[in-house]
């Protein structure tokens, strides 16, 4: 009896709170308001007393922070931030793509939500091969046939179970920005200009992303079609996207092109709660994403392979440190290619892959004086792009949310859904089109990641959390295709083993090895002496303009949220 009275009071309080928040919330977005889309600046690092967000665009971070300032929790902020990214960061923010969320509630519940795209029902194993069995270049990358069934909107509604504010409040800032426009940055102008022809070739109707003259920094981008699509989500919920007008527009666009996504594919799409991967590294609990992402398990493998080798005795980015990390990366990525795929279609040997004896055995041929050659199956070319996007959020209650979401390549398949204003993903390229044939990230795979209807393609996205003494400590993640797990791995080593600030951990030069191709990718500022020493040990190096765009929040001993946004982009922090 007492219990039910208590429950009633709690529900009544919650309803009153929601009602207050709903009615008392003045608009967040507008000229001169809390988030001004015509006048904003980029803040890279800051300590906040209560709550913070770090993500790829200032307007999205600011909306997330404002939502928390007005009574929302980290889940509310993450939802609102993602909707805004879908408007202001069209390279990777999306409702036409998919992603993963790893979170931990203030009460200590770990959560993993999988909203990865699926292969359409009409997909077949060899759909990207010609009659001779060769991969048809670009077919899984550009245009209508490159898209999987989008998962983001379903994922946001799955996340909503943990939120406090009404969904309407969370979608509205994105609607306002799409409807009344926002000022674009130089980086965005360049991205849109270089994609102009590709949008025209791969879409059947005009869209807000293409205009006669070239875009320039300071121009205002208005996307009325996208605003209407978001309004349908606001007014009809998940069905406002997967059914009704939006679904019809998606299917109409597919039919006008070469696409195979049908109404049933959309109606049947479901986000899934998975069991998060949790492991211990030197006393810290690390929480990661399980398959269909490869991220969590290969980070676990890499960290366990270095755990007992006391890496911090080597100076930061000395040949010894880098060589050890490269060798564990090589071994983990070899496992990725063979063993990982959608667990609903393929038995993934997770326990074995993380087993201590198994990992000790993997390192048995490790030689600290020379490179272990990768088995030369087929070398791939690495595509230079960082167009996935990561959001880290931590609120004043201790809810931690880490989300990585993507269209895959920059601006996805370049197909804009006519009349709906959003860009579709080209995630089908993350499947293995043919055993041993590299995808755009040079990743190879086989049966575990072959195309099957309704299957999820293997991912590298690695939203990650760290607990210290069982309490919230770090929220981290990054874009970067196959470099994602190695970037997160390095960021964690920088923080946990080298005691760096969040800012340094994110901005120090990165390196990457993925088994095949057998080379170490490095950023321009990577230590030249280390490279020279490692070349003498038999390593090949490959230059990349940048690796990752990592967003980190760490709780300092003072309780402050040390929040850092990667210097490599327009990434920005906000909080209070
Ligand atoms: O899921 C994956 O692993 C890829 N689709 C991620 C793509 C990505 O990070 C693009 N940015 N470089």
Task: Assign residue 499 the CATH number of its domain.
Answer: 1.10.246.130
Q: What's the number of domains the chain is made of?
A: 1
Angle, helix 483-496 to helix 319-339, in steps of 10 degrees: 140
Find the 382 Cα to ligand 1 centroid distance in Å.
Answer: 12
Distance CA 570, CA 328 (A): 32
DSSP string of 189-244, one letter each residue? HHHHHHHHHHHHHH-SS--TT--SSPP-TTPEE--HHHHHHHHHHHHHTTHHHHSH
> Number of helices and strands (H, E) in the chain?
17, 19
Q: Over its length of 576 residues, how does the chain's per-residue pLDDT go in tens digits?
A: 444 544 444 444 444 444 444 546 789 999 999 999 999 999 999 999 999 999 999 999 999 999 999 999 999 999 999 999 999 999 999 999 999 999 999 999 999 999 999 999 999 999 999 999 999 999 999 999 999 999 999 999 999 999 999 999 999 999 999 999 999 999 999 999 999 999 999 999 999 999 999 999 999 999 999 999 999 999 999 999 999 999 999 999 999 999 999 999 999 999 999 999 999 999 999 999 999 999 999 999 999 999 999 999 999 999 999 999 999 999 999 999 989 999 999 999 999 999 999 999 999 989 999 998 886 322 223 234 557 999 999 999 999 999 999 999 999 999 999 999 999 999 999 999 999 899 999 888 889 999 999 999 999 999 999 999 999 999 999 999 999 999 999 999 999 999 999 999 999 999 999 999 999 999 999 999 999 999 999 999 999 999 999 999 999 999 999 999 999 999 999 999
Dihedral pair phi/psi, residue 85, rounded to 5° = -60, -35
Dihedral pair phi/psi, residue 274, rounded to 5° = -115, 170
Q: Is residue 246 part of a domain?
A: no
Do you know the residue count of the chain?
A: 576
Distance CA 262, CA 122 (A): 9
Segments forming the whole domain that contains residue 321:
275-388+460-557
Q: Is residue 336 part of a domain?
A: yes
Q: Is residue 503 part of a domain?
A: yes
**Residue from 388, 412, 549, 550 to probe ligand 1 pocket by mutation (most atoms less than 8 Å from CB):** 388
Q: Whose CA is nearest to atom 4 of ligand 1?
A: 481
Q: Is residue 489 part of a domain?
A: yes
Q: Is residue 75 part of a domain?
A: no
**Pocket, ligand 1, Cβ cutoff 6 A:** 385-388, 406, 408, 427, 430, 459-461, 479-481, 484
Q: Whose CA is nearest to atom 9 of ligand 1?
A: 481
Find the 309 Cα to ligand 1 centroid distance in Å.
Answer: 30
Angstrom CA distances, 422 to 79, 81, 285, 418, 489, stand at 17, 16, 38, 8, 33
Angstrom CA distances, 199 to 189, 208, 349, 412, 413, stand at 14, 10, 41, 10, 9
Q: Is residue 476 part of a domain?
A: yes
Active site residues: 388
Find the 324 Cα to ligand 1 centroid distance in Å.
Answer: 25
């Amino acid at each position: 009896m007492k219990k039910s009275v208590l429950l009633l009071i709690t529900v009544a309080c919650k309803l009153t709170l929601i009602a207050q928040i709903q009615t008392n919330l003045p608009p967040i977005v507008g000229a001169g308001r809390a988030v001004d889309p015509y006048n904003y600046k980029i803040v890279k690092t800051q300590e906040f007393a209560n709550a913070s967000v770090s993500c790829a665009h200032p307007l999205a971070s600011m909306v997330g922070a404002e939502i928390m300032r007005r009574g929302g929790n980290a889940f509310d902020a993450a939802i609102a931030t993602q909707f805004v990214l879908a408007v202001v960061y069209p390279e990777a923010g999306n409702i036409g793509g998919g992603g993963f969320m790893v979170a931990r509630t203030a009460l200590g519940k770990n959560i993993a939500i999988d909203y990865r795209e699926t292969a359409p029902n009409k997909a077949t194993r060899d759909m990207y091969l010609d009659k001779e069995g060769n991969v048809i270049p670009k077919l899984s990358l550009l245009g209508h046939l490159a898209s999987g069934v989008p998962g983001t909107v379903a994922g946001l509604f799955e996340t909503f179970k943990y939120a406090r504010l009404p969904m309407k409040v969370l979608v509205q800032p994105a609607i306002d920005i799409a409807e009344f426009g926002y000022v674009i940055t130089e980086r965005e102008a360049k991205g849109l200009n270089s994609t102009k022809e590709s949008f025209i070739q791969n879409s059947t109707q005009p869209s807000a992303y293409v205009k006669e003259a070239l875009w320039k920094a300071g121009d205002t981008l208005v996307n009325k079609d996208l605003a209407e699509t978001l309004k349908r989500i606001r007014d009809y919920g998940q069905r406002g996207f997967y059914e009704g007008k939006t679904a019809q527009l998606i299917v109409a666009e597919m039919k006008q092109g070469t696409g195979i996504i049908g109404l049933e594919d959309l109606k049947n799409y479901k986000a899934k709660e998975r069991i998060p991967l949790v492991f211990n590294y030197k006393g810290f609990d690390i929480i990661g994403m399980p398959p269909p992402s490869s991220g969590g398990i290969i980070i676990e493998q890499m960290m366990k392979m270095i755990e007992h080798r006391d890496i911090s005795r080597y100076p930061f980015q000395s040949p010894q440190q880098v060589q050890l990390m490269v060798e564990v990366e090589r071994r983990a990525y070899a496992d990725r290619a063979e063993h990982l795929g959608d667990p609903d279609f393929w038995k993934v040997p997770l326990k074995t892959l993380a087993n201590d004896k198994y990992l000790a055995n993997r390192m048995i041929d490790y030689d600290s004086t020379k490179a272990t050659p990768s088995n030369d199956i087929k070398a791939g070319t690495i595509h230079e792009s960082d167009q996935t996007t990561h959001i880290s959020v931590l609120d004043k209650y201790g809810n931690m949310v880490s989300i990585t979401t993507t269209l895959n390549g920059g601006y996805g398949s370049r197909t804009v859904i006519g009349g709906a204003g959003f860009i579709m993903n080209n995630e089908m390229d993350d499947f293995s089109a043919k055993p041993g044939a590299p995808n755009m990230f040079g990743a190879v795979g086989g049966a575990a990641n072959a195309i099957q209807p309704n299957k999820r393609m293997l991912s590298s996205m690695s939203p990650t959390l760290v607990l210290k003494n069982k309490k919230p400590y770090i929220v981290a993640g990054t874009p970067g295709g196959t470099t994602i797990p190695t970037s997160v791995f390095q960021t964690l080593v920088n923080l946990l083993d080298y005691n760096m600030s969040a800012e340094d951990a994110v901005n120090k030069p990165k390196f990457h090895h993925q088994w095949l191709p057998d080379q170490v990718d490095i950023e321009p500022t990577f230590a030249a002496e280390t490279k020279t020493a490692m070349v003498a040990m038999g390593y090949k190096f490959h230059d990349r303009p940048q690796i990752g765009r990592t967003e980190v929040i760490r709780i300092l001993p003072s309780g402050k949220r040390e929040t850092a946004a990667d210097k490599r982009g327009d990434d920005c922090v906000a909080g209070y």
